Amino acid sequence: MLKTPIITARDVDVYYGQKQALDKINLEIPEHKVTSLIGPSGCGKTTFLRCINRMNDLVGICRVEGDIQISGQDIYAPDVDVVALRAQVGMVFQKPNPFPKSIYENVAYGPKIHGLTSGKTDMDELVEWSLRKAGLWEEVKDRLFETGTGLSGGQQQRLCIARAIAVKPKVILMDEPCSALDPIATAIIEELIDELRKNFTIIIVTHSMQQAARVSQRTAFFHMGNLVESGATKTIFTSPNDERTQNYITGRIG
Amino acid sequence: MTDTDTSFLKGQKHLVKRHRAETRFQWMGRLAIVMSLSFLIFMVGSIFWQGKSALQTSEIALTVNLSAEVIDPQDIRGASFDKIVKTALREQFSEASKRKEKKKLYGLVSSDAGYELRNQIEENPALLGGTQTLWVSASDDVDIFLKGQIDRNVPQSDRRLDDQQIGWIDTLTETFAIRSVFNTKFFTNGDSREPELAGILSALVGSALSLSVCFLLSFPIGILAAVYLEEFAPKNRWSDIIEININNLAAVPSIVFGLLGLSIFLSTFGLPRSSPLVGGMVLSLMTLPTIIIASRASLRAVPPSIREAALGMGASQVQATFHHVAPLALPGMFTGAIVGMARALGDTAPLLMIGMVAFIVDVPKSLLEPATALPVQIFLWADAPERAFLEKTSAAIIVLLLFLVLMNIAAIILRKKYELRF
């Protein structure tokens, strides 16, 4: 299929207790591209996203079967350290959730716990780099030591992105990052996502088909726990193979 | 349907009824608040009314002979100060010649008057060598008579002071040989059989020591237990059983914890009876469930998004908890701890069981010395037969309430100070 998939999922089943949430998902995700996961509510796209950095481990009743590899390594192998995994796979959540600390501390937290910097100037540079990458530097450079929760919603979300990229992960997972934002803030984030894909592989869950069409190169359509169809975004939106995809993107179901 | 439609905005029958029910409910609520406030005001007011007189005490001036024949300046302690006091009284009221009368006369001053005299002279040896007028404490009967708690119109046999004694007091008052001063002894003395000498210091220190032990034990243990149960423990049948039992423990009557302390800390471990150490340990048994429950509630109130943010960054469970979740929950934990401690401060029953009900004159200097606690002291004084202990009881209650108010204020300040908005 793809030449250089960074993430490969094979026959992934996810159960919450007795209930099966994902059924035999096979998906390859290319490097340095934006892949969007779309589908109606409850279709399992967020569940799949959270399998990739093993956030589902936190849900006691959740069970993952099958095989997910990042750069050829099985992330569910017994010797895998989730802390190391999550340093490689960052995450941006639906609701902006900066720590109730200063902007600087928010960004510096990841590098600090992973020991990525040596010394204060090093850290200062990394914080500036991350905030610049997230397009937030100009807005906050004079108030780095004010609390991050005092920013506007869009700025908070970009702060969360800066926080995620500060540890320089391979992959960034975004779980409906714009659903709590207004259209202007959304446009800024979308531009940012396009910029970030030069350095990172991005997987984004979105409810907005326009957003998927705008930001992503590849799209995967989930429906009731199944991966119905995946491929180049253009193909999915113009000539989908499956009738369900067709119905969803034209707004007949969902 | 013609012009009747204009009335559709006016109150209809069921609406009128609904409004009336609403008004009725509001007034019932207001009434309930007024009633509970008036009970509170009545209680606090009556305690203050009865206790405020304990802040004053009476002193009598004695003209004492301190010449070298009576007191050897080289050996002040060798002199009989009781005798000096008695001589001074006899000289002032020479009409008391019979043994019985003399005894009544000596009863005007505190049995501690001799010591007070000695202390004054030791502090200021320049007084020696002549006749001086010095102030000593009046006895409790004189004190409460002066405070108007003995009525001179009741028959002589029904009051603590007879006509002759009242005559002497009147004479002293007329010659300005009686004064009313601030009762420092109440705050600097330990307990005493003599009401005019009894103070709350030993009880206060006992309470402070017990509460420190209680805080040092229950706060770290309670918080660690809460953090583990809330953030780390698997949710299964065992954690449910533990949770239910902690909730039950919080409702156990405190005297049961006292019995537990008696059988374990005293009988099994052989720790010293009546000591603030054991008192604090028993109180911490009682406070622990409260702290655990309050801490868990405040941990649960931290939004899960903070936890996810930290874990999503690759923080370990411990890092997420101690860097992000616990600091946010800390104000709530403090509040819970202080509320639990305030309850411990006011509790008597468990302390009775481990012998902290003893009559303690000396201020405890270590955790292992016998001590008592404020509420126990109140209980002891309330039980004492002397009329003068009544105002002491109320005054001690005021002190206890004051400390409770202070602790609650501390809880509010801590919460405000460390509260983070997110």
Q: Identify whether the C-beta of residue A68 lies closer than 8 Å to the C-beta of residue A27.
A: no
Q: What angle do CA A178, A181, A184 make, to 5 degrees?
A: 100
pLDDT tens, position by position, B170-222: 989 998 889 999 998 899 988 888 888 899 999 999 999 999 999 999 999 99
Q: CB-CB: which of B234, B305, B311 is closest to A58?
A: B311
For residue A175, the model assigns a pLDDT of 93
In chain B, residues with a C-beta closer than 8 Å to the C-beta of A84 are 314
Cβ burial, residue A71 (10 Å; 0-12/13-18/19+): middle
Would you place residue B6 in the very low, low, confident or very high pLDDT band (cuts 50, 70, 90)? low
Contact B314 A55 (CB under 8 A): no
- CB pair distance less than 8 Å for B305 and A110: no
ipTM of the complex: 0.88
How far is the CA of A21 from the CAs of A48, A207, A245, in angstroms?
9, 18, 19
Asked whether A133 and A165 are in contact (CB, 8 A), the reply is yes
pLDDT in tens, B298-352: 999 999 999 999 999 989 999 999 999 998 998 889 889 988 999 999 888 899 8
**Cβ of A58 and B314 within 8 Å?**
no
Contact B309 A114 (CB under 8 A): no
Cβ <8 Å between A98 and B309: yes
Name the residue facing A97 among B235, B305, B328 (closest C-beta): B305
CB-based burial label for B358 (10 Å; 0-12, 13-18, 19+): middle
Q: Token pair for residue B286?
A: 């009682």
- Do the beta carbons of residue B322 and residue B279 sit within 8 Å? no
DSSP B271: P
Which bin fits B110, alpha (ψ -120 to 50), beta or left (φ > 0)? beta
For the entire predicted model, the pTM comes to 0.82
Distance, CA of A140 to CA of B205 (rounded, Å):
53
List chain A residues with CB under 8 Å of B310: 99, 109
Q: Which residues contact A69 (CB under 8 A, 6 or more apart)?
A: A7, A8, A9, A10, A75
Nearest chain B residue (CA) to A112: B315
CB distance from B304 to chain A under 8 Å?
no
Predicted pLDDT of residue A1: 52
Alpha carbon of B407: minimum distance to chain A alpha carbons (Å): 28
Nearest to A114 among B305, B314, B323 (CB): B314
What pLDDT does B11 receive? Answer: 64
- Per-residue confidence band for B290, with pLDDT thresholds at 50, 70 and 90: very high
Residues in chain A: 254
B333 in contact with chain A, both atoms CB, cutoff 8 A? no
Q: Considering only alpha carbons, which residue of chain A is nearest residue B324?
A: A99
Mutation to test the A interface, candidates B302, B313, B317, B421, most A Cβ within 10 Å: B313
| B128 pLDDT more than 90 | no
Query: For residue A147, what is the DSSP state?
Result: B
- Quote the CA–CA distance of A127 and A112 in Å, as a whole number: 11
Asked if the C-beta of B252 comes within 8 angstroms of chain A's C-beta atoms, the answer is no
User: How far apart are the C-alpha atoms of B304 and B171, rounded to whole Å?
Assistant: 78
Q: Quick check: A97 and B308 CB within 8 A?
A: yes
- Check residue B24 and give its pLDDT: 96
Report the gap between the CA of B339 and the closest CA in chain A (Å).
Answer: 27
Which chain B residue lies closest to A157 (C-alpha atoms)? B309
How far does A96 lie from chain B, in Å, by closest CA? Answer: 9
Q: What percent of chain A has pLDDT over 70?
A: 98
| Cα first-last separation, chain A | 29
pLDDT in tens, A25-75: 999 999 999 999 999 888 889 999 999 999 988 887 888 999 999 998 999
Q: How many CA atoms lie within 13 A of B372 on its CB side?
A: 23
Per-residue pLDDT for chain A (254 aa), expressed as one digit of tens each?
Answer: 556 789 999 999 999 988 999 999 999 999 999 999 999 888 889 999 999 999 988 887 888 999 999 998 999 988 999 999 999 999 999 999 999 999 999 999 999 999 888 889 999 999 999 999 888 999 999 999 999 888 998 999 999 999 999 999 999 999 999 988 888 889 999 999 999 999 999 999 998 888 999 999 999 999 999 999 999 999 999 988 888 998 888 887 65
Question: Which token pair is A22?
Answer: 């994902």
CB contact under 8 A, A86 and B309: no
Mutate to test the interface with B, among A54, A85, A97, A112 (most CBs of B within 10 A): A97
Alpha-carbon gap, residue A179 to A175, rounded angstroms: 9
Which residue does chain B place closest to A91, by CA atoms? Answer: B312
pLDDT of residue B4: 56
Q: Is the pLDDT of residue B421 over 80?
A: no
Q: Is B324 on the interface with A (CB under 8 A)?
A: yes
Is B314 close to A83, i.e. CB distance below 8 A?
yes
**Residues composing chain B:** 422
Nearest CA in chain A to B234: A60
Give the three-state DSSP class for A173.
strand
Determine how β-strand A5-16 pairs with β-strand A62-70. antiparallel
How far apart are the CA of B343 and the nearest CA of chain A, in angstroms? 33
One-letter identity of residue B81:
F
The 10s digit of each residue's pLDDT in A108-119 is 999 999 988 888
Are residues B313 and A95, on separate chains, in Cβ contact within 8 Å?
no
